Amino acid sequence: MSRIVRTAADIIYPFILIFGLYVVAHGHLTPGGGFQGGAVIATGGALVIVAYSYAEVREWLSKNVLMGQEVIGLVGFIGVALIAFAFGQVFFFNYLNASGSLFGIPVPYGINAGELNTGGFVPLMNFSVGCEVWGGLTLVILYMLSGLEKEGC
């Protein structure tokens, strides 16, 4: 693409990244969550892939790193849910809620201002799902692009 598009992509990409991470981090307070935030970040990756050629992008966005990110996301999701067994609870029990530790401030019933340090293990789940969706969707675009490259289109 032209220099204008590349410069615009360079400027916009960090903001897309920050907005996506914001949506992931505030998933338990505002509309959004892990999946939506990860999709937002993946659109940033798609923007960079469109603005630059595949040969250049291949050096920045490593397929192995993205695949590892996806695996870490899924394994982390299951692992966070499995830790509940250590507390003598059932699978997917919210053991961190109202515990006073990380993300453990109790939330009263009714309208309140919202505190980032609440939600039990829901923010951890959001982070792992966001990590997985980020890696997965970017990886799909990269793989399709590499397939096109091979055919000579």
Partner 1 sequence: MKKMIVLFTSLLILSAFLGVMALTFTFGAPKMTDMDDYFLRFGQEQTGTNNQCTSVTFDFRGFDTLGESTVLFCAVIGVALIFRKMQAGEEYEDE
Binding site for partner 1 (CB under 8 A): 27-31, 33-35, 67, 70, 73-74, 77-78, 81, 92, 94, 97-98, 103-110, 112, 114, 118-120, 122, 125-126, 129, 132-133, 136, 139-140, 143-144, 146-147
Q: How far is the CB of 6 from partner 1 (least distance, A)?
A: 26
In angstroms, give the least distance from the CB of 146 to partner 1.
6
48: left (phi over 0), alpha (psi -120 to 50) or beta: alpha
For partner 1, the closer CB: 51 or 80:
80
Q: Which two tokens stand for residue 12?
A: 């916009």
Nearest CB to partner 1, comparing residues 47 and 99: 99
Nearer to partner 1, 34 or 44 (CB): 34
Under 8 Å between Cβ of 135 and 69 = yes
Of residues 28 and 44, the one with the C-beta less far from partner 1: 28
Secondary structure of residue 77 in the 3-state scheme? helix
Contact assessment for residue 128 and residue 77, using Cβ atoms and an 8 Å cutoff: yes
Return the number of other C-beta atoms located less than 10 Å from residue 21's C-beta. 17
